[in-house]
Structure 1
Amino acid sequence: MSLLDAIRRYARYNVWATDRLLAALQALPDDKYHGHASLCFRSIHGTLNHLVLADQLWLSRFKGVDQDERILSYWDRPDTVLYAKPDDERIYWEDNIPSRDGVADAIRISTSAILEFVEGLPDDVNLGGPFTYKRRGAMVTKPHMGAVLMHVVNHGTHHRGQITAACTQFGLPPPSLDFIYYLQ
């Protein structure tokens, strides 16, 4: 299997796992879904919003379009504000898309858009070469296009793991999201 084939497979897995997680989260009451779950982005809702914003940011970079300043601003903060503290009643990530249904729709769209982008890459794309994009007028180069794509499709895995831990904490059995189950 080529690296591109593996990335495409993981992008399809990302859509599948996200859909399964969103379906499971429907059983979680609003107070738990929006409540402090000791996650980096405070709540399950904040974490899903972070995923949407990160996907949108990377998609704009892949497509070579100007990055939305509003989205960039989410990362332009010191770590003391970027991540939730134990006593935070809210965190700004939660305000990107305030509604549960809205963030679920947005993450379905963003994961599908990433899949569409990856599926649309030519089979002979140079994944070993650098990836360059513009950020606020300056050119930024990452050393390995394949690694950037792997990061983007794997990013959801990291945060889905955090969310499933929160589900367990709240008494909701998490769905089986292991890659091996996707392959069955």
Structure 2
Amino acid sequence: MISWKNHFLYQVDYQHWVNDKLLESCDKLSDEVRKREEGLPFRSIHGTVNHLLVINLKWLGRLQGEPKDYRHDQQIFEEWRELKLALKQTVRQTQHWLEAQSDAYFDGELHYRTSGGVEQRDWIHDVLTNFVTDCAHCRGQIAGLAVRLGAPSPEMDFIYYRRDMQESLAHAKLATTSRPG
């Protein structure tokens, strides 16, 4: 049986992998197209990727007990490259922070204040489930629009992530066993 900790470490590693797949697809679009208002809740591809960064920063801050006061639509980076790098770094920070937590942490409660200022208490595993599903929801919006605008369709399914990881591990094992020694 997999622990909550291991489950969410897989999930956050998947966030990193899938964001790379999605952003690589969006790289095929011009900056003008990525920033064009297209009716998404956060207006554009760029705005919705920015929202992914905002929710990553907000939840990491809450988990660490250091809440970040970002609005959901707050534009942090105007430059695509900077936005992508910040998202990648924030997801890795979340992963490293979660790795440092004990197994018991994932069975605990999180006390935090919502964006509307309401005091909240939720199970850590429910908060993390909400976080990863919210990210998946935003990525789905981005991917659908990006493909409609001419970007290649990214393979973002979790099962593809698992297969990629298994293949990487097999290659690493083969490289280790085939070294002269």
Note the residue ranges of structure 2 that are not aligned, 5 or more in a row.
164-181
**RMSD (Å) for aligned C-alpha atoms:** 2.0
Q: Is 2:88 the partner of 1:108?
A: yes
Q: Which residue of 1 aligns with 2:18?
A: 17
2:56–2:90 contact (8 Å) kept in structure 1: yes
In the alignment, which residue of structure 2 is the partner of 1:179? 158
Secondary structure of the residue aligned to 1:143 is strand
2:160 corresponds to 1:160: no
Summarize deviations over 1:141-170 as a string: whole Å, max 9, x none.
Answer: 323111001222332211111111011210
Instruction: Tell me the distance in 2 between the aligned counterparts of 1:64 and 1:143.
Output: 14
Q: How far is 1:134 from its partner?
A: 5.3
The aligned counterpart of 2:49 is 48
Partner residue, 1:59 = 60
Q: Does the Cα contact within 8 Å between 1:20 and 1:175 map onto a contact in 2?
A: yes
Q: Which runs of 4+ in 1 moved over 6 A?
A: none
TM-superposed deviation, 1:11: 0.8
Match for 1:116: what amino acid?
H
Q: 1:152 to 1:140 in 2, by over 3 A?
A: same
Give the structure 1 partner of residue 38 of structure 2: 37
Amino acid at match of 1:45: H
Q: How many residues align?
A: 161
Is the radius of gyration larger for structure 1 or structure 2?
2
1:53-106: per-residue Cα shift (whole Å, max 9, x none)?
1111111111112x344x1xx14xxxxxxxxxxxxxxxx64x321111111111
State the alpha-carbon separation in 2 of the partners of residues 57 and 6 from structure 1.
Answer: 21
TM-score by length of 2: 0.80
CA-CA distance at 1:132 after TM superposition: 0.9
Alpha carbons 1:132, 1:139 under 8 Å: kept: no
Aligned to 1:84: none
Alpha-carbon distance in structure 1 between the residues aligned to 2:48 and 2:118: 29
SS for the counterpart of 2:104 is coil
Query: RCO higher in 1 or 2 (8 Å CA, sep ≥ 6)?
Result: 1
Q: Distance in 2 between matches of 1:3 and 1:116?
A: 15
Q: Structure 1: any 5+ residue segments left out of the alignment?
A: 76-91
Cα distance in structure 2, aligned partners of 1:182 and 1:68: 30
Counterpart code for 2:41: C
